[in-house]
Amino acid sequence: MRESILTIPVNEVFEPREGCPICRMRDTVEQHICEYIMGAAMMEPDVRMETNKLGFCHTHYGQLLKQNNRLSLALMLNSHLEEVRANIIDKKGLFDSKDSKAKKAAEVDGTCFVCSKVQWGIDHMLDTVFTMFQKDGKFKNMFKSQEYFCLPHYHYLIEQSAVKMPKGERSDFLAALDEIMRGYAKQLNSDVNEFCNSFDYRNAGKLHSAEMEHVRSSVDRAIMFLTSRGREEE
Ligand SMILES: [Zn+2]
Ligand SMILES: [Zn+2]
């Protein structure tokens, strides 16, 4: 599998300043991988070996279904099921107690080919993000002008920066991150609150005016902010 499928220039990810940039990165890489594994990679034995072993999570089965290529998906499911049967369900023998079956089943249950590749892509990009934040003033400003980071990616940035950034630089990074998060979460909370209040009879009709779009969209945006996934991806 070519690494170029999993990497996107960091400026391309941060330039739009709209939504969570890590989500944008993930969405693009997911799209690339889904197209790739349903197309060219179908015939690549090393990719098939990995998909047979790891399978996919619910979110990514959903995205693969959207590729409108049921035969490719069925072929992958076919060999994945064969492997699950051979390695777990049909496995006999003294050393294969029920517990080890449970362990193996849990392993397959928790793995996803797309998730593992996306994770690699994100980690690879974050190496660059942390380096550029320290060395490139222009990028630092671009980072600071992001709209927000979703809660799961905010959590991941805090965690990863602890491992990948020197202490002194990290406090600068965390301060920038927190300022973005405080501002956005406050506004979002206030928009959702206004949405609730719009159901009061005294505010009848108010929600439908053009300038209330930020309030109308607030429930969807709050779910996106808290979970990193939008409604259309269910
Ligand atoms: Zn995100
Ligand atoms: Zn997945």
Name the residue with tokens 């020197």.
166
Distance 81 CA to ligand 1 centre (A): 32
Band (96; pLDDT cuts 50, 70, 90): low
pLDDT at 40 (0 to 100): 76
Domain ranges of the chain: 8-137, 148-234
Distance 211 CA to ligand 1 centre (A): 26
pLDDT at 234 (0 to 100): 46
Distance 30 CA to ligand 2 centre (A): 9
- Answer whether residue 98 shows pLDDT above 70: no
